[in-house]
Structure 1
């Protein structure tokens, strides 16, 4: 086995082909820092990726593979026997699902269906042990539904395809990490769903992910639901003591360093200055708001609880700038870095 063959293989799904996914994928997989730490392979549409490379002014060769097992080790190394150096070679599992005239920046059922199949193929490869991580470009939920796939988002889609009953969404920026107890459901439904067991399992998944990333004993802050953590019963109906506190006590009994329930506004302030390694948010906007204020450009979405780690950019398909070559690709590069850091090799 060569040194390069020891690097993890990361499946990069192209996302919605009408959005910025093709552009951020081609830019990220030829980043020298990425090529030094993993062997990326894009699952998507080769023709669309060529268009994206042209839009970005990248001089790259898109090479089509029938199977990820054909991933060329030499493709990630400069080889005297090849006319194209590794830094300009992109290897792709080409599903060929998009029409040549697919417009940029417009909702498309065809693109939504294709995005589903890119993820499906990546999940099959992960379940077969062919890849050690998945990094996804954004899909459009409306397009996904229009294409016949009724999932709230990537997180739920990945869990269903891999047969996992429960996963957690973690968002990460250089200044703040947040894991969510509930995600893509309404606020009233989220409060109803929160219960001690779910809180406990979410904290454990977050603790395990950070330990895998090299933090020996993560310091975890757990948010309350109500303002001021209920203010000793003044706000709410005792949700903190009934739904959250027992889950915290259970993980603390096993040696996990978790505290709460904390007033969310204070918890995020303290985490932003470095007091906590991870904040546990009770519902979608409680966690997403602070993350996007502090660093959406470098934010990464991480799914924990799957057989392999999955990371993604923390932004959408950006239809307003798709196909213009102006998208910021740093978040996709960071998503790939974190996929490698958390991969089980």
Structure 2
């Protein structure tokens, strides 16, 4: 049986609905999985008109009502947003709805109605104004699944990156890094690639300071204090991990195939290389969720400036759906 992939609609004022409708015009996706959108059917109808798609929006109130046929987009219709919601504007209503789409996706995954979650982008400011004070998708998923050991993983052309820290300021990120966190993320990277079929994944860890501290020349010994003990613990368990290495050369080495995945110490250290290599093809994956819940996402934002203009690129959404079905359990 094909896995059912629940696609959360994201912020209805952004490009999420458009790229979902565009992506689901690809017949090959229906050959590999059963997609169902978790959102508002009337917003998908509007997106259908924007992108001039020859599809039918099928409103359902149970995943079992879905038809899963190319040419018909099944929408688990939560009916949370007004049909005249303006494009490209911060809306508490849309922010609240975006959170509730994700929460419902988690509930459906827990009940095994869907086998993976793929998320369209939400807007953090809108979500906060809607009453949900989370830094982003990753933290919502971790909270609602009661998961403590998790991480954000990015996958792009020829490069995979997993993060020790994500949505915190740089000073707090460095403070949050410790040997146990380093060990945990290295282990999550190793286990994730094992499940994906890599029998002996190789992991490399970025340094925190320029030139990975260069033996104490830069910084205050953060590599020796925060990274190396965690790396050594993973090595003792047989995990193939090296580092810390200077970030300015490590991503080049990983891109040419020296390593299967890079552990980045903070948000921009890991995000920038992946997005330079291919923003449209990047996929965001939440690793380590309890219950084995699979979550993938586009690696871009709501793009309010181009919402409703039919110029948003759907490639990242298509790649995120494919990543979800690749990782989802087959029934």
Paired position in structure 2 for 1:231: 214
| Structure 1 alignment gaps of length 5 or more | 1-5, 77-85
TM-score of the aligned structures, taking structure 2 as reference length? 0.97
Q: CA deviation at 1:37?
A: 1.0
Paired position in structure 1 for 2:258: 275
Paired position in structure 2 for 1:15: 10
**Matches of residues 170-181 of structure 1 in structure 2 within 5 Å?**
170-181=153-164
Q: CA deviation at 1:342?
A: 1.1
Paired position in structure 2 for 1:80: none
Q: CA deviation at 1:35?
A: 0.8
Aligned equivalent of 1:157, options 135, 140, 157: 140
Mapped partners of 2:250, 2:295: distance in 1: 26
Mapped partners of 2:113, 2:70: distance in 1: 23
Paired position in structure 2 for 1:338: 323
**Matches of residues 1-345 of structure 1 in structure 2 within 5 Å?**
6-71=1-66, 75-76=67-68, 86-306=69-289, 307=291, 308-345=293-330
What do the CA deviations read for 1:8-29 (whole angstroms, capped 9, x no partner)? 1111000000000001112223
Mapped partners of 1:29, 1:248: distance in 2: 42
Q: CA deviation at 1:270?
A: 0.5
**Retained in 1: the 8 A contact 2:149–2:184?**
no
What secondary structure sits across from 1:288 in the alignment?
helix
- For this pair of structures, how many residues does the alignment match? 328
Displaced runs of 4 or more, over 6 A: none
What do the CA deviations read for 1:67-123 (whole angstroms, capped 9, x no partner)? 12333xxx33xxxxxxxxx22111111111111110111111110001011001001
TM-score of the aligned structures, taking structure 1 as reference length? 0.93
Mapped partners of 2:23, 2:191: distance in 1: 27
| Structure 2 alignment gaps of length 5 or more | none
What secondary structure sits across from 1:36 in the alignment?
helix
Pairwise CA RMSD: 1.0
Mapped partners of 2:196, 2:29: distance in 1: 17
